[in-house]
Amino acid sequence: MCISARGTEAKHIPVMPSHTWQLICPNSTCNCRPVLHAALEVETLWHDYEAQTTPESHLVKDFDKLEMIIQAHEYEQAQGLQLQQFFDTTKDKFKTQTGQAWAQELVARRQKAAVAPTTAAGEGSTAPAALQQAAAASQAGS
């Protein structure tokens, strides 16, 4: 077994026997062991994420949910949509303090943006800067 340190715990990654390497890499100049070793490590980390067995896996899962509601908020701002269902499905689902704090911050910003008048571009707009620039360029070209 090969041991790879991750934070305070060790991950055990199986090491393939030499004859297996010879079957995979028959060319003696082939140097694929590091690549395959990395692939095994990624697979191990993926299983940790799926099983939610480590603090790191909880944080990554929280980031996944955060990314979803950030994207929903951006779509709401850019497209004028109402995507409350995405926020409802993640409410009280964050396991880490970091995830909870960031989700609360996003919800507060979303509520603040809902109260403020929004326009496609210009003063008072809560649309992302790139969207504001594109709208301004479009108006200038008209």
H or E stretch including 134?
A: helix 129-141
Closest by alpha carbon to 77, among 25, 136, 120, 21? 120
Whose structure tokens read 């694929």?
Answer: 32
CB-based contact 76:45 (threshold 8 Å): no
| SS3 state at 10 | strand
**What are the structure tokens assigned to 44, written together?**
């191990």
| Helix, strand, coil percentages for the chain (3-state, nearest 5) | 65, 5, 30
Whose structure tokens read 């991750």?
Answer: 6
Q: 23 or 75, which is more confident?
A: 75
How confident is the model over 84-141, as pLDDT tens digits?
A: 999 999 999 999 999 999 999 999 999 998 887 555 444 444 445 555 565 566 556 5
Residue 1 pLDDT greater than 60, yes or no: no
Q: 18 or 69, which is more confident?
A: 69
